[in-house]
Structure 1
Amino acid sequence: MSSLIGKRLKALREERKLSQDELARMFGFKDRQTVSAIETGERRLSAEELLLAVEKLASSLDYFTDPFLLAGEGSFSWRQSGVSNERLNSFERVAGRWVAAIRTLAPAVGKPGPNMRQSLKLTSKSSFDDAMSAGERFASDFELGDVPARRLAEVMEQRLGILVLMVDAFDGVSGAACRLPELDAVLISRQEVPGRRHFDLAHELFHILTWDTMPPEHVEDSSERSKSRVEQLANSFASALLMPAAVIDRLAPAKGYGVEWLNDTAEALQVTATALKWRLVALGRLDSAAANKIPDTALRNNGRKVDKRTPPPLYSKAFMEVIALAIDDGQVSARKAADLLDLTIEDLADLCATHGVKVSLDL
């Protein structure tokens, strides 16, 4: 707890634009070394000092003590378009509570995170061919089959220990990657069409696997043709992972890559037809001039006039299993869990049932 309080004190000090010397004077400490020791967890704040911090920094006690909160910890990278910083920061605080809940509860119910993280040997100087090769290798190494999109989330959670959450996000927010010292997480807007969801998932996976060598920006443009080199590398990796060359070649038409083939093949691969079109260009199967003559309007929703498919259920089965175990074990009350997930207790019970998760709730 002292380490947690220290990190949050540092985050609040920096938010208030105070130096360690200024904070030391505020607390009546002799020097800034005492503040430094508190922020690194080497020294505990006494109860009186904690109350003084609440008063002097105009904060709440929960800010320092609530385990279901991310403050001064973790980094998010948001994939969005046209969302204001205020709205994005608001949603990040909410999303941070979901991630913090698993960070706190999973070890308590016997489901700790992975001992080692997977990574890709890529940097911002790597070529797009390098990124595509890495995507193809990932699909092959983890045996994702002819339709990699189908099992990608499952592999990320079960074999890589990456938390994958399907969420209801603000319009314009398509997904995010989150890095904590002990946990990686990916959030995906479940209201996106399936092909877009899968591309965002593979894109955010790239950021998780390359976070140490090329940490992503806090906010990134969700355009698949972003000018950022890191985002272009992520797009190349995602395209190759979801659409391996060998699979595309097996499905290749006898003559020409037309609109009908693009839409039907994209639907079979659970990707977007537009992404498939540009994957063909990257592979040299279709020249860019011919690709530009195929209007994206003809590929929208993979040729469907209206996409009426039901979005996936909220969060994930693995996530709800931890929540259910924590409730049954008394680590968190059903009411607290429902509040964390912005649900009623009845909705919580229904969501567990939807995921096939058993939980004891007093309704």
Structure 2
Amino acid sequence: MIETSGLSRREFGLQIGLDESKMSKSLSGARRFSSVDLARVADLCHVTVDWLITGEEQPLATAARTTSGNAGSALDAARRFSRLRRDMASLGYHQSWQSKALNLGRGGYVEQGRSLAQDALVRVAEAGHSIDGSNLIILVERVFGIDVAVVDLGAGFDGLAASSPDVKLIVLATTQVPARQRFTLAHELGHLLAGDDQDVHLDRDVFDRAQAKDPSEMRANAFASAFLMPEDRLRAAVGSTGLTEREFAELACDLVVTPSALAYRLFHLRLVDAGTCDRYKTLTGARAASMVGRGEDFARLVTEAGMPRPPGLLVRDTYAAYESGAATLRPYANLLGADVDELRRALESEHGIHDAL
């Protein structure tokens, strides 16, 4: 790797923090590379620590090289985040993925998705959270221990889920339709909880009817619908008197779902008739928010859905690794999109301010 880097042995050693003597001893076997040394080599050479140790390339890396367009960009991002996650695992900062088995239930794929959603909702409640009005990205990270990133991918691609022993990751596309991003996140969560595609699962369009015929997509869609719009929540809202149009709009805003998705869910649960479903599904999210005086909330959600975001758990772990001395500041800076030297100066300046106070 030193030869392909274009650096001399001495220059390579200095780049990873080793003087000429330590570098020579490490290469000869007289001194072992530490975990910090390996992390620095991996960072310098744009590979994973796992690759340095085993020489094996992860399936996600192969997929990223062989896929073009927006999906290729998503895979590139997933590859980068996955590499960092595996490196953090090698340093002792393992992902807090909750591997507790969830119930797929019996019956068809739709029934399995709904059963899986019921178990997932129980876990959400046990963790002290609620689906109503929640920041779903933060909820998924905290409750399920999954890294969630939002990346600018342009139009035509919704998201992906990547899974390996060390990595559970969801990558979402930025969008101006917050409810679509939320549904995509729930859809990808369904794939991960069901154990679909243990390497990587791509979703160019979660609402594509042709794709929805695939059994795993049917299950993921059923999961997302039941997870985001829990049956008991809807039955309580409808009650014995039904829903007025205003109450329907309020419910769509509370659950952060599109009015059309909510109308179909209510119809399938036989809580509204076909005529009411057809009438309510014509509402837009913006119109529903305006009807109930929540236009500002809707505008905020649109802004948030259009902003790139690194995986929150990975940001936490890369900083913890830096703070403990197990890794350099570079992985943390890369996630933030910051210049490492400027970030170091900013952190040191902050400490200086605290000392002065």
Match in the other structure for 2:207: 223
The 2-side partners of 1:178 and 1:141 are apart by 22
The residue that corresponds to 2:73 in the other structure is 90
The unaligned stretches of length 5 or more in structure 1 are 2-45, 48-60, 79-83, 353-357
Residue 255 of structure 2 corresponds to residue 269 of structure 1: yes
Q: Return the alpha-carbon distance in structure 2 between the equivalents of residues 288 and 68 of structure 1.
A: 57
SS where residue 308 of structure 1 aligns? Answer: helix
CA pair 198-218 structure 1, distance change in 2 beyond 3 A: closer
| 2:288 pairs with one of 286, 294, 303 | 303
* 1:1-363 matches, cutoff 5 A: 66-67=47-48, 72-75=57-60, 85-108=68-91, 110-114=92-96, 117-122=99-104, 126-143=108-125, 147-148=131-132, 150=134, 152-212=136-196, 218-223=202-207, 226-252=212-238, 255-296=241-282, 298-301=283-286, 303-304=288-289, 307-309=298-300, 310-311=303-304, 314-335=309-330, 337-339=332-334, 341-345=336-340
Post-superposition offset of 1:238: 1.2
Residues 134 and 87 (structure 1), Cα distance of their counterparts in 2 relative to 1, 3 Å cut:
closer
User: Secondary structure at 1:111's aligned position in 2?
Assistant: coil
Which amino acid is 2:75 matched to?
Answer: E
Q: CA deviation at 1:139?
A: 0.7
Per-residue deviation at 1:336?
Answer: 5.3
Q: CA deviation at 1:178?
A: 0.6
Equivalent pairs, count: 289
Q: Could you say which structure has the higher helix fraction?
A: 2
Cα drift, residue 153 of structure 1: 3.9
Letter in 1 for 2:158: S
State the alpha-carbon separation in 2 of the partners of residues 311 and 194 from structure 1.
8
Measured after TM superposition, the shift of residue 65 of structure 1 is 6.7
> Offset at 1:162?
1.7
Alpha-carbon spacing, 1:122–1:248, altered in 2? closer, same or farther (3 Å): same
- The superposition leaves residues 157-191 of structure 1 with CA deviations (integer Å, 9 ceiling, x where unpaired) of 33433222233333333222111222211122354
Is this contact kept in 2: 1:118–1:209, CA < 8 A? no
Structure 2 distance, partners of 1:359, 1:100, is 30
Deviations 1:278-325 (CA, angstroms, capped at 9, x unpaired): 2112212123454234443x2233534775213177224422211212
Length-normalised TM-score, structure 1: 0.64
SS in structure 2 at match of 1:223 = coil
**TM-aligned CA distance change 1:124 to 1:339, over 3 Å:** farther
Partner SS, residue 121 of structure 2: helix
Number of the residue aligned with 1:53: none
Could you tell me the TM-score, scaled by structure 2's length? 0.65
Which residue identity does 1:311 align to in structure 2? E
Q: Give, in whole Å, the separation in 2 of the partners of 1:124 and 1:99.
A: 33
Query: How far off its partner does 1:208 sit?
Result: 0.3
Change (3 A) 1:88 1:239: same
User: Equivalent residue for 2:7?
Assistant: none
Deviates further, 187-196 or 233-242: 187-196
Change in Cα spacing, 1:115 to 1:322, as seen in structure 2 (3 Å) is closer
| Superposition RMSD in Å | 4.2
The verdict on how the C-alpha distance between 1:146 and 1:337 changes in structure 2, with shifts beyond 3 A counting, is closer
Give the conservation status (yes or no) of the 8 Å contact 1:162–1:186: yes
Q: Distance in 2 between matches of 1:287 and 1:347?
A: 60
Secondary structure at the counterpart of residue 271 of structure 2: coil
**Alignment-mate amino acid for residue 198 of structure 1:** R
> Contact (CA 8 Å) 2:170, 2:188: kept in 1 or not?
yes
Distance 1:294 1:230 in 2: 29
Q: Which amino acid aligns with 1:96?
A: R
**How far is the alpha carbon of 1:150 from its aligned partner?**
1.6
The percent identity for this pair of structures is 23
How far apart are residue 133 of structure 1 and its match? 3.0
In the alignment, is the contact (CA less than 8 A) between 2:164 and 2:198 conserved in 1?
Answer: no
